[in-house]
Amino acid sequence: MLGADSGPGWHRVSQGVGRLGAVATRSSLATGVGRVLIAVYGILALAATGRSVVQIIEKFSHAPFAYTLSAVAAVVYIVAMIALIAPGRVWYRVACVTIGFEMAGVLIVGTLSLVDRQLFPDDTVWSYYGLGYVFAPLVLPIAGLWWLRKHHRTAAVEPARSTVTAGE
């Protein structure tokens, strides 16, 4: 197992010193509430992926638009989860765009599903603002955008390049 005795670069990782240590030990978005957000995004990613795969395989011709939106929601949840985990400015921006897109999607699809039921002959992940998922799709992007806003300064100072060799 690698640890403090595995070489000078690994010692710096364990001590949190230097460029490598800062990258390896600091992902401000993946702490505290951020960990809960990541976990919920992971659960929704699995649920939306499973739902969309089953819907597309078994009955795509019944509601292709709705089932495609469920697949889009799955991809959004996967990308948002990865972006919240990965350190750096680029991933922070990816998280902002992805979660912003998610918020817009939930509001648009949720509203359309109430106004024009014929657009959605079957439910999507975002139908009725996420009613089938106990409104988690509506609450999650609000919490995610709040978390990103709270940590915008910390994410901006993290290095964009997250891979550094152990000897540096």
Q: Tens digits of per-residue pLDDT, 73-91?
A: 999 999 999 999 999 999 9
Residue 72 lies inside a defined structural domain of this protein: yes
Residue 101 lies inside a defined structural domain of this protein: yes
The per-residue pLDDT for 31 is 76
The per-residue pLDDT for 32 is 81
Residue 146 lies inside a defined structural domain of this protein: yes
Residues 105-157: tens digit of each pLDDT: 999 999 999 999 888 889 899 999 999 999 999 999 999 999 999 887 655 55
Long-range contacts of 163-167 (CB under 8 A, 24+ apart): 164/19, 164/20, 164/23, 165/9, 165/20, 166/7, 166/9, 166/10, 166/13, 166/20, 167/7, 167/8, 167/9
Residue 132 lies inside a defined structural domain of this protein: yes
The per-residue pLDDT for 5 is 45
- State how many domains the chain has: 1
Residue 8 lies inside a defined structural domain of this protein: no
The per-residue pLDDT for 3 is 45
Residue 12 lies inside a defined structural domain of this protein: no
The per-residue pLDDT for 79 is 98
Residue 163 lies inside a defined structural domain of this protein: no
pTM over 0.85: no
Residue 17 lies inside a defined structural domain of this protein: no
The stretch 38-42 carries a mean pLDDT of 95
Q: Domain limits at 112? A: 28-157
Of 92, 100, 126, 95, the closest CA to residue 112 belongs to 126
